[in-house]
Every structure is written in C-alpha cells, then in structure tokens.
Amino acid sequence: MVGVAPAPAPARRRGPRPPAPPGPEREAARAAARRGALIGLPPLVTMVLLFAVPLGIVAVYSVATRGRTGRTELADWNLDAYARLLEPLVLEIAGRSLGYAALTTLLCLAIGYPFAYWLTTRRPGVRAVLLVLVMLPFWSNFLVRTYAWRVLLGSDGPIVTALAAVGLGEVRLLFTPFAVVLGLVYGYLPFMVLPLYSSLERLDLRLVEAARDLGATGWEAFRRVTWPLSRPGVVAGSVLVFIPSFGAYVTPELLGGSRTTLVGSFVVRQFLSARDWPFGSALSMAILVVMLAATVAYFRAQERRS
C-alpha cells in the first residue's frame, strides 16, 4: 500500500477554549505521598535516632579533647585527632588494611569466579544441592568459622603437626599476614560467590551461542560476552568483600599478631584500652569517608565501563 504525499502535520489544537479544570491527580498524589511517609516514618525515625544522630555525635567527639584521666572533655574543640591520622603508625595501619582488603577481594574474585561459573554449568538438580552447600557457610556463625582456622593453623594444630611430621620443621602459620588474609578470604568468599553466581545464572546462553556462531572461540566468547555481562555480579561481590575486609576486627584479632594490626583493631584499642575517644572517633570518621568514597568511585567506574 503506498500513500503518495505525506500528510500535513496535524493542526495544533489551541482553540479558544478556556483551560480545563484541574483533575484529581495532584490531590491523589498528595494523599499517596502522605501514606508513604506515614509508613516510612517509624523506620525513618529509627534510622535517624540510631544512625544519623550517632554519626553526628561521633563527629562531635572527634573534635573534643581527651582529659588526663582518659575521660573525654566536650570542650576545647580542636582538630588534633585528625592531625594524628597522618602519623606514620596510623598510615602504616591504614595502608596495610587497604592492602589486605584489596588482596582479599582479588583472591575471592580469582577463586570465586571460576567456582560460580562452574556451579552454573552443573545439571539443575545437582546445582540446587551445590547451591545450598555454598549458602550454608554464608549462614554459619562467622566467629566459629574463623576460630576453625585458629585451630587448624595453631602451633599444635593438625597442619603444623603434619608439616613437622614430614620433616619440614617448625613452621609458624598463626599470627602471620598469611593467616589473616586466609581468614578474610575464607570468611568473605561466599559474599563473592553468591552475587557472581546469580549474575552468571541469569546470563542468556543464547548470547554465547550467537558469539560462537559468529566465529568467536570459547575464550573470546567468554571475554567479549560472558565476562562483560557478569560484571554487575563482580561489582556487587567486590564491594561486599572489600568493605567488611577493610573494617575487619574478629579475623585479625584471632589469626593475626601485633604486626598485622588493621584499622578495626586499632579503633577498638582507642576505646577499650587506650581510652582516647576523640582519636577513635576521628579514625571512625576517616574509615567511613574512605568506605563511602571507595564504594561510590567503584560503582561510578563500573557504570562508565558498561
């Protein structure tokens, strides 16, 4: 069917009629907004009281003064605590924490990606069972899982005993950086695997088939189709591993030594033993800022790439 000339543009319809009366939309939207705010109010108040307000108090403490007895004087406001953030010891601890967290994230990704990929290739029935097996550690008590490594790596634990038995002598494993990173990887691996699995599982395999059909090798298809499409899982998993690794307390306390102090333990020490609350508060603020910046930067970078 061929029409010949293009139809003239429909005439603008601006007659002499007065504007139509306003409809009920605005009123209805307002009523809905009121209801939404009403439902949101209890949790909002909770979050303000238990999160926003405490954040403000920490900010206040961070510029207060430590009295001679260790009591914090809410007077003589100063930025000394922030200045101390630049001391070599603090920088060393912060650097170590960042390094360990980055290493942990990378290791979790290196172990978790092929693992999650392998899970998605299992038969559906088997996969369901394996998935439960992955989730069980996720739901298991974190403290106990870390404690297990303390038992395993301990000087009279099975690994050291076995190494000694085969003539490798006294190997010290516990209280080393190795033990801390191992513990972090062990603790947070499920946080990496599960988001990865879920983004890989959602992947439409017909896309991979299309890539192969268009001449890509298995590896090329992976690099150009599977990997880019699984990136949301990589981002989510990395954030979920990096954040708790950076602020970790239990793992370095149980598996590390004095030379592997991380920021988490350092902050706790300011409150429980050194009793320097302003400095501890400044440290907490700094951690928060770093976390916020890292998360935002990471998401931004990933957004740009995709």
198-217 residues near other proteins, rule: CB under 8 A: 198-199, 205-206, 208-209, 212
> Which span (19-27, 75-83, 84-92) binds other proteins, by CB under 8 A?
19-27
# binding residues, other proteins (CB under 8 A): 131
Q: What is the rounded CA–CA span in Å between residue 169 and residue 149?
A: 20
Please state whether 22 falls in left (phi above 0), alpha (psi between -120 and 50) or beta: beta
Nearest to 105 by CA among 196, 205, 169: 196
Nearer to other proteins, 17 or 305 (CB): 17
Q: Is 301 in the site for other proteins (CB under 8 A)?
A: no
> Which span (79-87, 88-96, 287-295) binds other proteins, by CB under 8 A?
287-295
Q: Is 184 in the site for other proteins (CB under 8 A)?
A: no
Contacting other proteins (CB under 8 A), which of 69, 88, 121, 258? 121
CB of 71 to other proteins, least distance (A): 11
> Which span (77-85, 86-94, 124-132) binds other proteins, by CB under 8 A?
124-132
Cβ proximity of 249 and 264 under 8 Å: yes
Nearest to 55 by CA among 300, 276, 303, 285: 285
Residue identified by tokens 């705010």 is: 37
Please report the sign of the dihedral spanned by the C-alpha atoms of residue 165, residue 169, residue 173, residue 177.
Answer: negative
What end-to-end distance do the CA atoms of the chain give, in Å?
Answer: 42
Contacting other proteins (CB under 8 A), which of 85, 90, 98, 250? 250
CB of 241 to other proteins, least distance (A): 10
Contacts of 277 (CB under 8 A, 6+ apart): 61, 64, 66, 72, 270, 271
Of residues 47-66, those binding other proteins (CB under 8 A): 47-48, 50-55, 57-58, 61
Contacting other proteins (CB under 8 A), which of 83, 89, 136, 301? 136
Read off the DSSP letter of residue 239: H
Q: Is 91 in the site for other proteins (CB under 8 A)?
A: no
Contacting other proteins (CB under 8 A), which of 292, 297, 300, 301? 292
